[in-house]
Amino acid sequence: MKIALISDIHGNLEALTSVLEKIDQLQVDHIFSLGDVIGYGCDPIACMNLVDKRASVKLMGNHEYAVLGQLTTNSYTPAAKISTEWTKKQLTDREFTMIAEYHMIHEFEKVTMVHSSPDKPDRWQYILDATQAKHAFEHFSGNICFYGHSHMPTIFREMPDDIPRQQVGHNFDPSDDTRYLVNVGSVGQPRDHDARACFVTYDSSNNEIRFHRVKYDTAKTQEKMNHAGLPDVLVQRIAVGL
């Protein structure tokens, strides 16, 4: 089975549309969304509708959790706080109901999927280094855990009696006797100095993990964000992938 994993769309409709076009060319069996469909960007509802139509599994992200009022935004940056409030105002009861049905974690075959970390998914912890990865490896049972949250395409490989090995996300063929944590990057707000939208495909029949980058019309997204009055720092960062 071939699946596409998309995460951290963040209300960026142009990025999502371009990614879905690319996914159509790749002929996948399923699309899984790993959360944070909304927040930061100016098209939360359009993105939610598209994800609802296309994705077989929809997971909860911290931005969804925040608009549901389940999470305080005290620790958020000022721009994130403003965008959360802005997003909340756009959503109607219909969307809140849709979000409430998003799952925290999903498992299929030997694969786990979660937005932030398989350990207490509702605590929204980051997996950024080998120590955090080592901890996360103890909290899922299968071979591969796909996650998002940090917007950094990354691969951690579990090493026997050692700290996990960390690599920047790139195409690889996972082996059956090794466990991996794979950050699928971000569709709508990449932060690895590459502005192109990022997503991952996993083909379980021939064990292939592929990272894809898709160019999209960032200028159009920026114009719409400006028009919506979203904070400048959010508008600027999507063009440089920061």
Partner 1 sequence: MAEIIVKYENKVIERIVTEQRRLSIGRTNENDIVLENRGVSRKHAIIEFSDKAAVVIDNESLNGTFVNSRKATEEVLRDNDIVTIGKYQLVYNSQNTNPADDSVGFDGTMMLNTKAQRNLMKNDNKEREMVERYGGSLLLGGENTYFSEYRIDRDVTTIGKAKFVHVQAKGFILSKIQAKIVKENDYYNLVNLGRKGKTKINGEPIDRQELKNGDLITVGKSVFKFVKGKK
Chain residues binding partner 1 by CB under 8 A are 157, 159-160, 165-175, 177-178, 192-193, 233, 236-237, 239-240, 242
Give min distance, CB of 64 to partner 1, in A.
27
Select 45 or 182, whichever has its Cβ closest to partner 1: 182
Give min distance, CB of 232 to partner 1, in A.
9
Select 193 or 227, whichever has its Cβ closest to partner 1: 193
Select 69 or 160, whichever has its Cβ closest to partner 1: 160
Give min distance, CB of 169 to partner 1, in A.
8
Select 171 or 226, whichever has its Cβ closest to partner 1: 171
Give min distance, CB of 103 to partner 1, in A.
30
Select 104 or 159, whichever has its Cβ closest to partner 1: 159
Give the C-alpha separation, 181 to 220, whole Å. 34
Give min distance, CB of 166 to partner 1, in A.
7
